[in-house]
Structure 1
Amino acid sequence: MNPTTVAVKAGFRRGRIELIQTLTNGMDLFAQFFWPVATMVAAFFMRHGTFQGTGVGLGSLALPSLLGMIVAITGMAGVAQGLAMDREDGTLLRAKATPNGMLGYLIGKVVAVSGITLIQVALILVFGLTAIGGLHLDSVGAWTTLIGMLILGLLACLPLGAVLGSVFDSPRSVGFVTLPIMGLVAISGIFYPISGLPGWLQAIAHVFPIYWLGLGMRSALLPDSAAAVELSHSWRHLETVAVLGAWAVLGFLLAPMVLRRMARRESGAAVAARRERAMSRA
């Protein structure tokens, strides 16, 4: 059998095992589902509000945006955190020493993180449809847009997570990445329409994928009348696909380079040094 095929199959098996381990470990479950549950609670308390007299409910407006936020944060932070942890405990070094091991490792990480992301999205979606309302997922077009945004969002965010995980060699260092990400969430129209923010903040939000993921999810789950609260009173599908596609291309260009550079620097001495630093902090 082709060695690459063997590595791909091993990667999918690895991803399935990691996903099962996450779903059967209490601490991992808490870490993965704390923020999705917190966002659902926030959307629930917003369900009776409306945006500036438009009649569009704040809860139903925020919930699709939350789906976009979850895809972006879990996609980026999940891969970055996993890479940093596996560098510290030597898992990455063992993968490097195995023929095509890095390919299998990366496929496994993508499968595991994508699986967790899709479970989180399904949980929030079911909650929104039953407890908040105002969502319209009753046509083939809506489902097509939703699935397309999920795929494009993962393609845009997973490689960026690999780039971030390659830069930091400790999971504690990766934790600092969440601060600017949460700052971007605050200005990306997730909890309140971006049209209510100053123009310079809108310009910053337009550069990054979180705003566009939220917009794409809103276009899939809300009626066309809800586009009235958007910046150009339209869903801007072409711009959404273009920006997310650009981030996906950028990520797939950068990720292999930084991952190869990271793999070359991995050694037993480097792993031992990281363990020693971790033990000294403990």
Structure 2
Amino acid sequence: MASAVRIGCSRGLIELRQSFTNGGELLSHFLWPTLMLTVMYFLRDSAFGSGGLMLGTLALPGILGMNAAMGMVSMSQILTAEREDGTLLRAKATPDGMPAYLIGKVVSVGGGVLADLAILLIPGLLIIDGLSAGGAGSWLTVAWVLLLGMAATLPIGAILGSVFTTARGQGLIQLPMLAMIAISGIFYPLTSLPEWVQWLGQATPIYWLGLGMRSALLPDAALAVEIGESWRHWETAGVLGLWAVLGLVLAPLVLRRMARRESGSSMSQRREKALRRVG
């Protein structure tokens, strides 16, 4: 297992470095943060309610939480694509190949998520007023929320990547993800939505990632627009921890089952079906 961890970490770091030297991937790292910063810049003078809080200030921490959660989509897309092109089959054929492969993907995807968050957060602190991120406690909260949040979401991405056999099926993920984002209180406080939507939003890891980031980066005056007027750190840790445990238990089982079913003949059948669709 130690060799799998070493090989996986090495592979993940190589893939992460390559993502910043490839033009297309480099553009993807900067495009989404740039779009979000532009939106928040134009929202910076728009107040929410009568408490004097600006929408741009409220939105930045939530968007950081959403970006962290979106790592599960990246993980799912990568696993599906590399299952289709035979990368997973080659990994299965080598000693400790599957554990090393998965560790590598966690390192590369997780590292990419952290880099994207830095690209968004550093300029955001400069152009958005009203943030409270000067103390060590704020950055400690950012650290544990991000680590626990990625532990909760990346295994879900691995499970989804095992379910879909072709990259075309990944389109089915987009609608549920957009629905979760819409009810997660990222762009607008959850308390402004109907109560039944609030309960649905609190069942998603995206809401708790956003809440945790808001607790780290916003002043206590922002509590007025939160459920129960509390940052609910224990609940955040509990819900994200539950998602993490479920994902870490289920992901290896699903991936082992998928690896057992993967073969050269199944990959050839998928390729023939794709060629027929193109023809």
Q: Secondary structure at the match of 1:232?
A: helix
User: Contact between 1:128 and 1:135, CA under 8 Å: does it hold in 2?
Assistant: no
| 1:97 aligned partner | 93
1:42 to 35, 39, 53: 39
Structure 2 residue 224 is matched with structure 1 residue 228: yes
Aligned residue number for residue 184 of structure 1: 180
Name the aligned partner's letter for residue 130 of structure 1.
L
Q: SS of the residue aligned with 2:107? A: helix
- Paired residue for 1:65? 62
Alpha-carbon contact 2:208-2:236 (below 8 Å) kept:
yes
Structure 2, unmatched stretches of 5+, are: none
Q: In the TM superposition, what is the alpha-carbon distance from 1:32 to its structure 2 partner?
A: 4.2
RMSD between superposed Cα atoms in Å: 1.2
AA in 1 matched with 2:66: M
4+ residue runs over 6 A deviation: none
Structure 1 residue 112, shift from structure 2 partner: 0.4
- Distance in 2 of aligned mates of 1:18 and 1:270: 27
Q: Quick one: structure 1 residues 254 and 10, their matched pair in 2 at CA, closer, same or farther if it must change by over 3 Å?
A: same
Which of 215, 223, 232 is 1:219 aligned to?
A: 215
Q: Which residue of 1 aligns with 2:15?
A: 18
d(CA) in 1 for partners of 2:136, 2:62: 20
Deviations 1:187-241 (A, max 9, x none): 1111110110011111111111011100000000011111111011110111111
121, 129, 139: which one aligns with 2:125 = 129
Aligned to 1:88: 84
Q: Pick closer, same or farther for the CA change 1:203–1:53 going to 2, 3 Å.
A: same
Q: Which moved more, 1:159-168 or 1:16-25?
A: 16-25
Scaled by the length of structure 2, what TM-score is found? Answer: 0.96
Q: Is residue 78 of structure 1 aligned with residue 74 of structure 2?
A: yes
Q: In the alignment, does 2:111 pair up with 1:141? A: no
Q: Which runs of 5+ in 1 are unaligned?
A: none
Partners of 1:132 and 1:139 in 2: how far apart? 17
How many residue pairs end up in the alignment?
278
Pair 1:265 & 2:228 matched: no
Within 5 A, what are the aligned runs for 1:48-59?
A: 48-59=45-56
| Contact 1:60/1:134, CA 8 A, preserved across alignment | yes
